Amino acid sequence: MDHEQAISAQANLAGRSSGQVKRSGCSQNRLHTQKALMEFLLLGKVDS
């Protein structure tokens, strides 16, 4: 899995597991996907 795929997968996991994102507001998901991105860049792959 290359970096881009990994980030994408991480973002999906974060969104699913949080249970907070019920409406797919793209603005709100900027927050959540970027949190997943920063987590990945700084900590690598974190198992949910």
Partner 1 sequence: MGTARHFLQLKDFTLAELEHLFERTIELKARQRQGRLYQPLTGRTLAMIFEKNSTRTRVSFEAGMAQLGGNAMFLSTRDTQLGRGEPIEDVAEVISRMVDLVMIRTFEQNIVERFAAHSRVPVINGLTDEYHPCQILADVFTYIEQRGAIRGKTVAWVGDSNNVCNTWLQAARIFDFNFHVSTPPGYELEAARGEGFRSMHLECFKDPHAAVAQADLVTTDVWTSMGFEDEAEERKRKFAEYRVDADMMRLAKPDALFMHCLPAHRGEEVEAAVIDGPQSIVWEEAENRLHTQKALMEFLLLGKVES
| Site for partner 1 contains 27 (CB under 8 A) | yes
Minimum distance between the CB of residue 27 and partner 1, rounded to whole angstroms?
4
The verdict on 6 binding partner 1 (CB under 8 A) reads: no
Among 6, 28, 41, 45, binds partner 1 (CB under 8 A): 28
Q: Residue with structure tokens 């860049």?
A: 41
Q: Are residues 45 and 10 in contact, defined by beta-carbon separation less than 8 angstroms? A: yes
Shortest Å distance, C-beta 3 to partner 1: 25
- What's the CA gap between 41 and 25, in Å, rounded? 24
